[in-house]
Structure 1
Amino acid sequence: MTTHTTYPDTASPIEAARGCLAAGGTLTQALQTLARVAARATGDDAAYPLLYDEVAAAVRGRSPGPVAGDALLSGLNDDAQRKVLDVLAETFPLAHRIWSADYCAVANRSAVFLPATGDRTRPCMSVAGVLAFIYLDPDTRTIRLSGHLDSPWDELLRADGTVPLRGTVDGMIVFDGSDQARATGATVPAPLPGIADAFTSEELECLVRTVGEAAGGGNALDHGTLSARQLELAERAYALLMADLAGQDPSTLRTCP
């Protein structure tokens, strides 16, 4: 007979699993509940089978036989079954609400340090799928810090494919793309105002030089006095200016040179 357990939408996966066990469900059903609520929390109910496999692997190990351990799990006494869920709460981040203190603590405990193994590798730490490298660079004679966001955990991704990120050096914020910074318009580095945000710092430098040459030398903006690069940037700037004056969103005109 299958036991169906209801749980409040605000329940974390581990709370729902414990509720299922307390209501008379088997340990296997409690693990299924945990995986189902975790999948729902990620916004992808279809992730349930994969998450259940991960939960089962965390409990039984990764040996073959996906259902072979069910009889063994159901044979555990009540105290042992509760301890299984306690272990999951300590080791499985998605047993908790995403970004909760417990989720972050478990994720942080799962961090892995990867030392350099040769001249072509760099030491790094892996946390939640994000790689953070810190190493001595003989070419620049600096201590370099580098973050790589190629494979963060899916549940940490925003709808636009980015992850909330904040970087500090000696307590000073050098990068802030957090949700709080976005909401208050306080991202670091701050976006440039108006159409200037459509250009890189190198392109702005080129445009300033273009204006200087045109104004200071009394030159017209033509092919005889300016380089192809200067003309291209000046034409982009003019198109953006006209769009801005016409009330059009300048970002719709942004193109890669």
Structure 2
Amino acid sequence: MTTPDTTPATAERPATPTPASSPIQAAHECLARGGTLPQALATLAQVAALRGAGHDDYPFMHDAVFAAAKAALFPKVRARAHLKNDNVFNGLTGEQQRQVLDAAAETFPDAHDVLSDAYCAAANRLAGPLPKIDDETLPAVSVAGVLVFVYLHHETGALCVSVDLEETWSALRRPDSTIPLQVTINGTPVFDDSNLARANGTTVPAPLPGIAGEFTPLELDCLARTAGEAAGGGNGIGDETLSAHQLALAERAYDLHMAEFEGEDTPTS
């Protein structure tokens, strides 16, 4: 006769999240597998960290998820410093736990894939005005860490619009360190380096033609100075009078130029 197994059933341990899942989806899947609400919130934060700012920000993001959910569903509960050890969610039903996740998703952009519709909606909900409070400040709007200042300026006699990107959320930064940005006036783009514009080749202003479009304005300026020193000064490109930066740019320009003649006869000057 077989002895019955009397070992108490235990909840399946949530699997380690992967960047393939969206953060909020990974959190809901954690609950569905029997994970606790704190585990699900930690999963949400961990996937967001893997997709965005990096794993070093995981503890901060973990706390931020707790704070967002608590603020949404439990406004009378004062957030304490160590939210990871908080027991405020104990005793919630499964449905209530799902509601907490959904509330966090409404107020925490990193619960979603970066720049998805839900990510943008949550980020826009967090946006807020910053009024002028003294002689040293200017009125602004804060969105995703970006400060957009709009103010009247007596010296220029103009309505000024200034964008400060220094504190932009790291998840929005591209591999080339730029921020997808579009500026319009009365619906007409005056600057457009959005992801869509890049994909469609419709950036404003349009890239310079030829290999010049491969360089930034500062790099083009450096190239012009390099050419001036090399030609006008009678120096060779390898002269010690040129900086390492100038030499690197000159070599890059030459390689791009030669690439246009690949398979053809070497161009003559």
Is the TM-score greater than 0.5?
Answer: yes
Residue 192 of structure 1: CA displacement?
3.4
Instruction: Describe how 1:56-67 pairs up with structure 2 within 5 A.
Output: 56-60=66-70, 62-67=79-84
Q: For 2:117 and 2:38, how far apart are their aligned partners in 1?
A: 27
Partner of 1:13: 23
Deviation at 1:238, TM superposition (A): 5.0
Q: Alignment partner of 2:175: what SS?
A: coil
Mapped contact 2:18–2:47 kept (Cα < 8 A): no
Which amino acid is 1:62 matched to? A
User: How far apart are residue 39 of structure 1 and its match?
Assistant: 1.3
Contact 2:104 2:111 in 1 (8 A): yes
Residue of structure 1 equivalent to 2:135: 119
* Sequence identity (%): 44
The 1-side partners of 2:217 and 2:130 are apart by: 34
- 1:3 to 1:36, Cα distance in 2 relative to 1, 3 A: farther
Conserved? CA contact 2:38–2:84, under 8 Å:
no
8 Å Cα contact 1:96-1:102 kept in structure 2:
yes
Instruction: Give distance in 2, aligned partners of 1:92 and 1:126.
Output: 16
SS at match of 1:189: coil
Corresponding position of 1:235: 228
Report matched runs for 1:74-93 at 5 Å.
Answer: 74-93=90-109
Counterpart for residue 52 of structure 1: 62
Deviation of 1:164 (Å)? 0.5
Secondary structure, aligned partner of 2:59: helix
For 1:196 and 1:78, the matched residues in 2 are separated by 59
Offset, 1:75: 1.6
2:118 equivalent to 1:108: no
Residue in 2 aligned with 1:69?
86
Q: Structure 2, unaligned stretches of length 5 or more?
A: 1-9, 71-77, 238-249, 258-269
Q: CA 1:112–1:199 in structure 2 vs 1: closer, same or farther (change >3 Å)?
A: closer
Q: Which amino acid aligns with 1:44?
A: G
Runs of 4+ residues deviating >6 angstroms: 195-201
Name the CA distance, whole Å, in 2 between partners of 1:196 and 1:10.
Answer: 38
Residue 35 (str. 1) matches residue 28 (str. 2): no
Alpha-carbon separation, structure 2, partners of 1:237 and 1:184: 38
Pair 1:169-2:185 in alignment: yes
Distance 1:46 1:118, change over 3 A: closer
1:131 is displaced (CA, Å) by 0.6
The 1-side partners of 2:61 and 2:100 are apart by 17
User: RMSD across aligned C-alpha pairs, in angstroms?
Assistant: 3.3
1:145 is matched with 161
Q: Is the 8 A contact 1:28 1:74 kept in 2?
A: no
Aligned residues: 219
Secondary structure, counterpart of 2:89 in structure 1: helix
CA distance in structure 2 between the aligned counterparts of 1:32 and 1:8, rounded to whole angstroms: 13
**What is the alpha-carbon distance in structure 1 between the residues aligned to residue 189 and residue 183 of structure 2?**
6
TM-score calculated relative to the size of structure 1: 0.72
Q: In the alignment, is the contact (CA less than 8 A) between 2:62 and 2:84 conserved in 1?
A: no
In the alignment, the residues of structure 1 paired with residue 84 and residue 198 of structure 2 have an alpha-carbon distance, to the nearest angstrom, of 46
Give 1:213's aligned residue: none
- The structure 2 residue matched to 1:186, chosen from 194, 202, 226, is 202
**Cα distance change on mapping 1:134 and 1:35 into 2, 3 Å:** same
Asked whether the equivalents of residues 49 and 55 of structure 2 are also in contact (C-alpha less than 8 Å), the reply is yes
CA distance in 1, matches of 2:190, 2:118: 27
The more displaced of 150-159 and 17-26 is 17-26
Q: Distance in 2 between matches of 1:59 and 1:26?
A: 15
Tell me the SS of whatever aligns to 1:187.
coil
Does the Cα contact within 8 Å between 2:19 and 2:51 map onto a contact in 1?
Answer: no
